[in-house]
A and B are shown apart, each in its own frame.
Chain A
Amino acid sequence: MGWSLIRVYTVLVYLFMFLPVAVVVLLSFNASQFGSFPMTGLSFRWFVELAQNEAILRAFRTSILLGALTAVISTTLGVLASLALVRYNIAGRNLISTLLIAPILVPEVVLAVALLLFLNFLSINKSFFLLLMGHVIFTLPFVILVVQARLVGIRRDYEEAALSLGASPVQTFFQITLPLLSPAVFAGMLFAFTISFDDITGTLFWKPGGVETVPTQIFAMLRNSISPEINALGTVMIFLTVGLPLLGLAIARRMAMQRGG
């Protein structure tokens, strides 16, 4: 009795989490002129309009470039730091871990203000560079957490074997450690990219005038009213950040199953 009640409750909680998003996707195919009910028919017209909207395309390009650069820089810093934390016994390790994850503990607005005002004091104005530095700093802790979790599972024996067989530390790193690390590196980059791609609060503080990322573009469009175009943009974003990874996962799983016979 109690159990089925909890089951119903859980179903309702999941509906609460997903129904509004499902409505966004549904309405993006609405043929009607207004971004609202009733559905007057299925249509792709809003996606076509999206593809012709120069501002949105520009925002996509900015977001992708920013996300990619953030992912590369943040993952490089994060992998190096994680290696040090997992592979070596260092003094003050707890303190260092806390320092490295500090950007998560500081509210994003405060982080945004501090960085903006400090770099401004150094005569570095709002720019793509400032935006990039900001994104690196708040993605770094997440990368470190994810990469560290993966690193713990990798045994040192292979590296020691390579070293004892005469490989140099650098050779060992590139030929043994890095290939073993690659799932962790990939996970870190994906995570950093997603967080950067989704960020809006810090971005609003740091972005120079005229530069928009996809979230800030959506935010600017919301100022007027909700339009079917926003729903269509939302659907595209959901497809990119949820659909593609799930598809990749499904394909990887199928391939692994086929290989396994």
Chain B
Amino acid sequence: MSVEARERRQPWILLSPALTAIGLLLFVPLFFIVVYSFWLRTATGADQVGFYLDNWNEALTDPFYRDILFSTLRIAAITTVACAVLGYPAAYFIARSRGNKALLLLLLMLPFWISYIIRTMSWINILGVSGAVNWVLLNLGITAEPIQMLYNEPTVILGLVHFLLPFMVLNVYVALEGVDVSLEDAACSLGSTRWQAFREVTLPLSLPGLAAGGLLCFVLSAGTYITPLVLGGPTDAMYANLVFEAIITQLNWPLGSALSLMLLGVLGALVLVYNHYLGMGQLMKGLG
């Protein structure tokens, strides 16, 4: 074999274990559940192989599933907007601060190292019946009885914002770091106010970061399974809870396949739209 031929083969040898793993453990299984979603789970618990549209019909038209899909998307949208509103000014501050930028960045990375389940359950200590807020309210005499503030949709959103905010701040920060400060100064010296300079120069230039952070927040919150179980009430199920219910509790795997693919389809379409307009580059910058 010539040296050139070996040169050409080497990268593929290096890539083959990872590509095989992803192929066998992700793409083939995804293809499998596409096929599976057209099978039928009979009353006896056996799978009937074939091409049935029943599962898809149920996933698409059953008002129960549809309502939960819409409320999942609504929760994801509110979470994303809240993360942007909370996160943008903080990211701006970190990017433009001179003194303790390293410390602020280190602190920003810390939540990624703290377990998701602990950060989620920490709100029970704050808002629960015997939590910090109720303790303060009772001691100040504002309320006579503790108030149950948990287990509703707003606390689910609160938990998601708390979990996803660092993703947003980090992505916006990375984008703002790439925006030259002197551009804003230039705008000011040409007669615009600080606010105008920000709105017309810095903000548009940082939009790719905001979009990348937004996409991450939306996709991760729409796919969330744990937060509604820990911080939500019995009626606050999100789409991933339906999937779990169908697969693990009802053992209706073909239906569970169809529901999973619904979620993948909706979120995948969003990722494709994002990729079409902005490309994956900015997202990779924020993750890497």
Contacts and interface: CB of A to CB of B under 8 A. Distances in A.
Interface stretch (B10-18, B50-58, B180-188, B200-208): B10-18
B94 A110 contact: no
Given A20-B123, A24-B125, A201-B225, A99 B22 contact: yes
A185 interface: no
Nearest to B267: A107
Contacts of A21: 111, 114, 118-119, 122
Contacts of B28: 118
A81 B165 CA distance: 31
B114 A145 contact: no
How big is chain B's contact interface, by range?
A: 35 or more
Interface in A195-223: 197-198, 200-201, 204-205, 214-215, 218-219, 222
Contacts of A192: none
Contact of B92 (A6, A120, A194, A214): A6
A114 interface: yes
A20 B122 contact: yes
A67 interface: no
- The listed residue with most B CB atoms (<10 A of its CB), out of A76, A87, A133, A226, is A226
B115 A37 contact: no
Interface string A84-102: 1101101000001011111
A36 B223 contact: no
Nearest to A90: B11
Contacts of A134: 25
The SS class assigned to the B binding surface is: helix
A103 B22 contact: yes
A137 B126 CA distance: 35
Interface string B248-267: 10000100110011011001
Interface in A114-147: 114-121, 133-134, 136-137, 140, 142, 144-146
How big is chain A's contact interface, by range?
A: 35 or more
Nearest to A7: B93
B89 interface: yes
Given A24-B125, A137-B26, A200-B117, A6 B131 contact: no
B126 A23 contact: yes
Contacts of A242: 110, 113-114
A18 B206 CA distance: 26
B121 A218 contact: yes
Contacts of A23: 122, 125-126, 132
Contacts of B89: 6, 9-10, 13
B14 A81 contact: yes
Contacts of A13: 86-87, 89-90, 165, 169
A54 B219 CA distance: 37
Given A109-B243, A113-B260, A114-B32, A20 B125 contact: yes
Contact of A102 (B26, B225, B257): B26
A205 B288 CA distance: 28
Contact of A80 (B14, B223, B263, B264): B14
Contact of A241 (B7, B115, B131, B256): B115
A27 B27 CA distance: 45
A109 B240 contact: yes
A78 B19 CA distance: 10
Contacts of B247: 113, 116-117, 205
B124 interface: yes
Given A201-B226, A237-B118, A100 B128 contact: no
B33 interface: yes
A113 B124 contact: no
A231 B132 CA distance: 14
A6 B95 CA distance: 12
Interface of A: 2, 6-7, 9-10, 13-14, 16-21, 23-24, 27, 34-38, 76-78, 80-81, 83-85, 87-88, 90, 96, 98-111, 113-121, 133-134, 136-137, 140, 142, 144-146, 148-149, 194, 197-198, 200-201, 204-205, 214-215, 218-219, 222, 226, 230-231, 234, 237-238, 241-242, 245
Top 4 A-B pairs, shortest CB-CB distance: A107-B223, A36-B130, A118-B29, A114-B29
Given A205-B247, A215-B117, 18 more contacts: A13-B90, A18-B107, A24-B118, A24-B125, A37-B130, A37-B132, A84-B10, A90-B12, A107-B264, A109-B260, A113-B33, A116-B247, A120-B253, A140-B18, A146-B288, A204-B225, A218-B118, A219-B117
